[in-house]
Structure 1
Amino acid sequence: MHNFKETFARVLKMVHQHLSDRFDGHGNIPKPGPRPKLSDAAVMALSLSSEILSIDSENRLFTHLRRYPKTIPALIDRSGYNVRRRKLFSFIESLRQRIVQELNLDPLVFIIDTMNLPHKSGQLVKRQVLIKIPFP
Structure 2
Amino acid sequence: MSPRTSKPATKQSKDKKPIINYGAEPFLMLCTNIVSKIGIPGFLVISFVSYLFAFTSSNQKTEIVDKWILFKNNNYNQELTILVVIFAIVLYSIEAYAFYRIRKLDQDEIARLSEFKRLYQEQQLGVKLSNSSKPKN
- Larger helix fraction of residues: 2
Confirm or deny a common fold (TM above 0.5): no
User: Larger Rg: 1 or 2?
Assistant: 2
The interval holding the TM-score normalised by the smaller chain is: under 0.3
TM (normalized to structure 1)? 0.24
